[in-house]
Amino acid sequence: MDTKMALALRQVQPSTDETQFTALLSHYPKLTHYWNLDKRECDIEIIKRELVGMGLGINEKIMLKFLVMVWMGIDVLNFSIIDAINILDADDLEDIISWTNKPFFP
């Protein structure tokens, strides 16, 4: 890839969906390091390991599953809306409800 092409790719503006996802992800600073938004990727294998480990609380694990589902456009981590409703606080639930009312897929 030549320099001009690389520069042009770096200057591509994020889509509206990517911007909305970035805003949503910013509500969960402890989870942001799983994404490289500049490269438009997340490391699903690291996320899977974190979900079985002890480093995250149950609320964070639920929201991480939700965020991955939104990011990928498919539920690869078995996000449970029932768990979300029963466990999450009102702010986290509001993020999910807002997304279901106007879904976006980066």
Q: What are the extents of the domains in the chain?
A: 13-101
Contacts of 68 (CB under 8 A, 6+ apart): 42, 44, 47, 76, 77, 79
Contacts of 92 (CB under 8 A, 6+ apart): 59, 62, 63, 84
Quote the CA–CA distance of 80 and 11 in Å, as a whole number: 37
pTM: 0.86
- Does the pLDDT value for residue 82 go beyond 80? yes
Contact between 62 and 79 (Cβ < 8 Å): yes
Quote the CA–CA distance of 44 and 42 in Å, as a whole number: 6
Percent helix, strand and coil across the chain, each to the nearest 5? 65, 5, 35
Rounded to an integer, the average pLDDT of 56-74 is: 96
- Does the pLDDT value for residue 9 go beyond 70? no
